[in-house]
A and B are shown apart, each in its own frame.
Chain A
């Protein structure tokens, strides 16, 4: 069945009777939700949503896998990723060093599009599944090579318990604990 255009009449409502019944219906549905709000709000610092595995959160570098191809820096739409040259031990002669280039990232600009992760030929870059970290100054947001290899501290996880929002037919979203309670 191909798509088609369908002209529809606008539902008309009028008259005193419809006016009274519509007012009552609106009031009733308000009272219905007042009595049973079916809410799924997250009490934020005490609860936080645990995101799915494929979520595109902060990007972390696995230095061992990096082959210095610079594809990530070239695909980055906001020029947040840059290559720096650092000395690393020579693969065959340990006392010598060679210059090798690695990516560093500027989270002032990163837009979390994940192109760098997808273009990396060796899967040296990966996402962590959290995103809610804030900064009080701009300089912290430029990650040098050491910071880029560590997953960032996640203060929310220390304060709260993880919950998961499930899609539910009755409630829309339903808040369930992400993990079993310990002990």
Chain B
């Protein structure tokens, strides 16, 4: 099982996508696929998130690599993607498949927590909570992870939190 020769990553990724698609369609979940460079994102509706996660976990995606959230203030949404891959299923090991959901940008956005499905998402969900203010329903221990409370209240990774950049003439003491 461990004798891995150098494999073609794109074919493994294709296989993983097929497997994920099959797992989701067998549960009757509606989804759309978006292609990225080196990965695929499967976007589902909010109510299918937990069911889809359970299906993918059964299909062999055993841990969360990255919980990627992007803020789109113009479209008034957060795009929240759990990027998954597998350690134990050798066939799809290393292929990154994203399970995503789009969250409307309201006062208190919230999504169901997937910590019960993937334990590895626990700290990343805490991180997203403090940086974006997205609440995860059913998370066992939702506190800020990295930031102090006053800073976390600013929700620093949202696009409306602006960090100023200096230009090339700024801040020079007046001298000859």
Q: Which residues on A are within 8 Å of B, measured CB to CB?
A: 2-5, 7, 70, 73-74, 79, 81-84, 86, 104, 106, 142, 144-145
Contact = CB atoms under 8 A, between A and B. Distances in A.
B163 interface: no
A74 B168 contact: yes
Contacts, number: 38
A4 B5 contact: yes
B6 A3 contact: yes
Interface string B107-148: 000000000000000000000000000000000000000000
Interface of B is mostly: loop
A86 B3 CA distance: 67
Given A73-B168, A82-B169, A82-B171, A2 B6 contact: yes
B170 A5 contact: no
Nearest to A87: B176
A5 B7 CA distance: 12
A79 B172 CA distance: 11
Given A82-B170, A83-B168, A83-B169, A5 B4 contact: yes
Contacts of A5: 2-4
A70 B4 contact: no
Nearest to B5: A2
Contacts of B3: 4-5
A73 B4 CA distance: 48
A104 B172 contact: yes
A79 B6 CA distance: 43
Contact of B176 (A3, A7, A86): A86
Interface residues of B, number: 15
A70 B5 contact: no
B166 interface: yes
A80 to B, nearest CB: 10
A142 B168 contact: no
Nearest to B2: A5
A3 to B, nearest CB: 7
Residue among B5, B6, B173 facing the most chain A CB atoms (10 A cut-off): B173
A2 to B, nearest CB: 4
Contacts of A74: 168
B169 A144 contact: no
B127 to A, nearest CB: 25
B175 A144 contact: yes
B172 A70 contact: no
A79 B3 CA distance: 49
A82 B4 contact: no
Nearest to B165: A79
B168 A70 contact: yes
B172 A84 contact: yes
A81 B172 CA distance: 9
A102 to B, nearest CB: 11
